[in-house]
Structure 1
Amino acid sequence: MKEYFSKPEVILTVSFLIGTFIIHRLIIWSAAKLSQKIHRSELRKQYLKRYTGYIIWTICVIAIILIWGFNTKGFFVALGSTFAVVGVALFANWSILSNITASFILYFTFPYRIGDRIRIHDKDLPVTAVISDIKGFYTLLETDEGELITYPNNLLLQKGVSILQDKKGSVFDITDDSVDRTV
């Protein structure tokens, strides 16, 4: 039994598990401190923990599989096939990846928060609403009429957005009635 625990594979596996756990906790701790500093909601912190956990632990599992020396040729064929299928799926629906990326950008850098009243400047469908929640793929917006809109996070980064605070409209809201045509 003693020889089993002195094998390099066991030592490396335990090291990877402990290292991954420490790195994961360090990232969560750092994100929590930053979240406190920039006043982010508890729900958004949970999304961040979940997504970073998926990424970090997946890398750890792949490393452990390689440590134990599974048939690497077969493993890489299976891994390549999996990535090919996922790549085709993401290419067919690229917005999934861009929405996740946009969610991280919104979490750390964007100036609006849950509860802010915003105006999205879209020429086809302008929206004025209050942010109810910011999820991993979309943001929930509630209009004055009580309508609940799911708006993709990547579009929030692509469109102009005004924070209205207590105002009902934006300075960019120009109607034909407000334009003085007496020249």
Structure 2
Amino acid sequence: MSILNFQEGFIYTGFLLLFLLIIRFFVNKVISKVSRKKGINIARIHLMQRYVSVALVIIALLFIPFNFGAKVKDLILLFSSVFAVIGIGLFAIWSILSNITSGIIMFFSFPYKVGDKIQIHDHDFPLEGIIEDIRAFQLHLRVANGDLVTYPNNLMLQKPVTLIKKDAIAEYFGDGTDLV
């Protein structure tokens, strides 16, 4: 088989990749616009844009084989085997996936932002502090004694949280320039 036999597949793949790049551009613009309106920091914006890129790569990997003549039943067999192995592996790391999913939910609907002072009503480990960062897996809280506490995103969605003061960084750290 020569490369000329797959010429049409390469052309369709090129159009698919171009289409997905255009979608990525527009979705990233929407994420940036929504984020600016909500006052979300740049690190969280970049994280969500990476999630979009990964999702589009997965979509491309699912559709590209069809461009080269793969049959649905062959791909179903392949993907069912791959997903079974992945499923077993993901079950073993469900808490990581739970934190990532919670991070995505928090990106779109979390009522607090970096700089807010919050209180987490956890029966076993109650916390009060200022949000320094919101990451893919955890939230960074600076407590009154200066310690940095990382709190898992999935627990942030499970526990009651009280907003004590908006943008409390100035109260704790002056103008905020001391923060790393």
TM-score by length of 2: 0.82
What is the one-letter code of the residue matched to 1:59?
Answer: I
- The Cα offsets for residues 78-108 of structure 1, whole Å up to 9 and x where unpaired, read as 4323211221222233222221121111111
SS of the residue corresponding to residue 114 of structure 2 reads coil
Provide structure 1 residue ranges, at least 5 long, that are not aligned to the other structure. 169-183
- The Cα offsets for residues 116-151 of structure 1, whole Å up to 9 and x where unpaired, read as 111000111101111111111111112111222211
Measure how far apart 1:61 and its partner are: 2.2
Q: Aligned-pair RMSD on alpha carbons?
A: 2.4
Distance 2:76 2:66 in 1: 10
Corresponding residue for 1:115?
Answer: 115
Corresponding residue for 2:160?
Answer: 160
Report the CA distance shift for 1:5/1:36 in structure 2 as closer, same or farther (over 3 A). Answer: farther
Corresponding residue for 2:53?
Answer: 53
Corresponding residue for 1:149?
Answer: 149
SS of the residue corresponding to residue 20 of structure 1 reads helix
Measure how far apart 1:51 and its partner are: 1.1
Output aligned runs, 1:165-176, within 5 Å: 165=165
What is the one-letter code of the residue matched to 2:112?
Answer: Y
Report the CA distance shift for 1:5/1:28 in structure 2 as closer, same or farther (over 3 A). Answer: farther
TM-score by length of 1: 0.80
Report the CA distance shift for 1:5/1:66 in structure 2 as closer, same or farther (over 3 A). Answer: closer
How many residue pairs get aligned? The number is: 165
Measure how far apart 1:72 and its partner are: 6.4
Measure how far apart 1:115 and its partner are: 1.2
CA contact (8 A) 1:5 1:11 kept: no
Compare CA radii of gyration and give the structure with the larger one: 1
Report the CA distance shift for 1:23/1:73 in structure 2 as closer, same or farther (over 3 A). Answer: same
Identical amino acids, percent of aligned pairs: 37
Corresponding residue for 1:44?
Answer: 44
